[in-house]
Amino acid sequence: MKCLKTKIDMENNHRITKQELEKMYGVDRTTIEIWRRRYGLPIIEISSHSKYIRRDELIAWEDRMKDKFQVEV
């Protein structure tokens, strides 16, 4: 059971780069920066050229945005 939990934790904490995020959503870097500044997208900045977000934090942010804007699927 511990191995499964560790694997799940690793998957949830997987780092997604800013460039990967741009590709995932089909947006440019300006849009990602707007989301970070206006909507609290939790980007972690290691340096000016190294930015990422953890998968679990991205999912939590998406859920908050869905709740906030009442997106219907």
Strand 50-54 versus strand 15-17 pairing type: antiparallel
Mean pLDDT of 47-52: 89
> How far apart (Å, rounded) are the C-alpha atoms in residues 71 and 8?
28
| 17, 59 contact by CB (below 8 A) | no
Beta bridge partners of 15: 54
6-10, 53-57, 69-73: segment of lowest average pLDDT:
6-10
Q: pLDDT at residue 68 above 90? A: no
How would you class 73 by CB atoms within 10 Å of its CB: exposed for 0-12, middle for 13-18, buried for 19 or more?
exposed
The pTM is what? 0.73
Name the class of domain 10-69.
Answer: mainly alpha
